[in-house]
Each structure stands twice: as C-alpha cells, then as structure tokens.
Amino acid sequence: MQLRMKPVVCAHGIAAALMLAAVAVPALAQAPPAIRSIVHYRIKPDKLGDWRAAEKDYAALMAKGGSERSYTVWQSLTGPREFLWVRYYSKWAEMDVLAEPKMSAHAAALAGITARLNAATESAWREIHAMQPDLTLPRPAEMPKMIRVARINAAAGKMDELLATMKAITVPAMKAAGVTSYGVGRARFGGGTNQVLTHTGMNTWADLDGPTPIEKTAGRDAYLKYVEKVSTLTTRIEWTVYRFQPELSYAAVAR
C-alpha cells in the first residue's frame, strides 16, 4: 500500500475503498487497543479551508450512515503544518475487513468527498505502531484538547532498555502526577523499527508550566538522573504539540 504519492490518495480514499475496522472512541475509560494507525497530511496552502470542509463532511457522513469505526483528527501547533488522522485497531486482522455493510449506501458520496480531500492534499504518509500495553494508560472518558508527542529514536541495541526505563520510571510518574492520557507505540511500518512515539494529553499550554511529572513526583535530582540515563539510550527525541479537532473527528456510538 503506497501512501507517499502524487497525485495523493489519502487515507479517506483508502477508507472509502476498504473501510478499515477501528476501535470506537469510548464513552468510558477502556484498556488501550493494540495497534495505532496515523496518517500525516500536508495540505496545499491555498486549500486549507477546502480540506477542512471536506473532512467535516466526511465525519458528518460517517454519523449519518451510523459507521462503527471511529477516528480522531489533530492539527499541529509546532513544526510543519500538518494534520494527523488517527485510528486504532484491536488486532491486525481488522485491517483485512474490506467493507462496512452499513456504509455501502453512501459509497458514491464517500467517493466524492475523497476526491475533494485529494484535491486539497499536497502529500500524505502513513505509519503504524504496535501499542505497548504496559506503557499505555487506559483511554480517558474525555479526549484531551491537546497532545504532546515525542518521536524517540533508540540507540542501537538499547530499545529494550529504553522501554524498561519508561515502564519503571515514566509511567509510574505519569500516574502519580495525575496524567490521564499517555501512551507508547513502537513503530512497525512507515517508520524506523528503532523508533517509538509517545503521546501525553494536555488541555492548555499552561500545563507545561512547572515541573515535569517525573520531577514533580520524584524530585529534581531524580529527574536529572533520568534525563541523563535516557540520553544514553536514545539518539534523537523530537517533540510536537497537536490540538484535537472535534468537528473533523468521528466517534462511533456503541450499538
């Protein structure tokens, strides 16, 4: 499946043709799913309004048809201007499901919206992660307004030690600090196999004021030792902040 291309075939085109299964955004906190798919969209500068309008219509059509397959959309606030289209799966076999019967009546409308999205998209690429259940908190009842994403490249031969450090120090600190949305996915496709992607929920920029969760719960000295250790286990860490786009997202209603 090729996702870097011109002309662009976006994930909506794939979704319209395949209607891949997904795990619904929960009304109550649930255990984390097994797989995370993220499509990165770069939008043509003069087509941002068109893309957003088409994405909004796509979500409305999902609701009209009663689709059981949820997804969320996030807009970058730092780094290159892009949107993330995020969908979760409980197992790999769900990606083999070719059609959602209840949406078949809307196939023509889906194709039309997909064409509009393609026309407004400059490029798109997809990455798929295996979620790490022992490093991921249960999904919260309410979606965070923003997320802070860390793309972490592990040093050669250090991935297991990095994950072990996150399990022993990072996750307990997140829980103790009251963080409700945190997860770690290990790259499987579309990225280097020595890479993990973490997300931490936040609601405002003010959430970044004050100490980090580890410093807050363990103290400054412990935090500095943690930073020093992580620096020996990684070659690069890149941080990006995204804002949730509820009007462009679709949360399936349990039926």
Alpha carbon distance 161, 107 (integer Å): 47
Q: What is the mean pLDDT of residues 111-132?
A: 97
Task: Give the three-class secondary structure for 31.
Answer: coil
Alpha carbon distance 83, 243 (integer Å): 9
How many other β-carbons are positioned within 10 Å of the β-carbon of residue 241? 18
154-202 residue pLDDT tens: 999 999 999 999 999 999 999 999 999 999 999 999 988 899 999 999 9
Alpha carbon distance 186, 152 (integer Å): 10
Q: What is the mean pLDDT of residues 13-24?
A: 38
Could you tell me which CATH class the domain 133-242 is placed in? alpha beta
Answer yes or no: is pLDDT of 223 > 70: yes
Answer yes or no: is pLDDT of 27 > 90: no
Q: What is the mean pLDDT of residues 91-103?
A: 85
User: Do 11-128 and 133-242 fold alike per CATH?
Assistant: yes
- In CATH terms, the fold of domain 11-128 is Alpha-Beta Plaits (3.30.70)
What is the pLDDT confidence band of residue 2, given thresholds at 50, 70 and 90? very low
- What contacts 170, CB < 8 A, 6 or more positions away? 135, 214
| Per-domain residue ranges of the chain | 11-128, 133-242
pTM: 0.86
Q: What is the mean pLDDT of residues 100-104?
A: 88
Nearest-CA neighbor of 113 among 50, 20, 19, 44?
A: 50
Q: What local confidence, expressed as pLDDT, does residue 97 receive?
A: 82
Alpha-carbon distances, residue 41 vs 61, 101, 178, 187, 230 (angstroms): 20, 27, 32, 18, 30
- Alpha carbon dihedral 136, 142, 146, 148, in 10-degree steps, equals -10
Q: What local confidence, expressed as pLDDT, does residue 5 receive?
A: 33
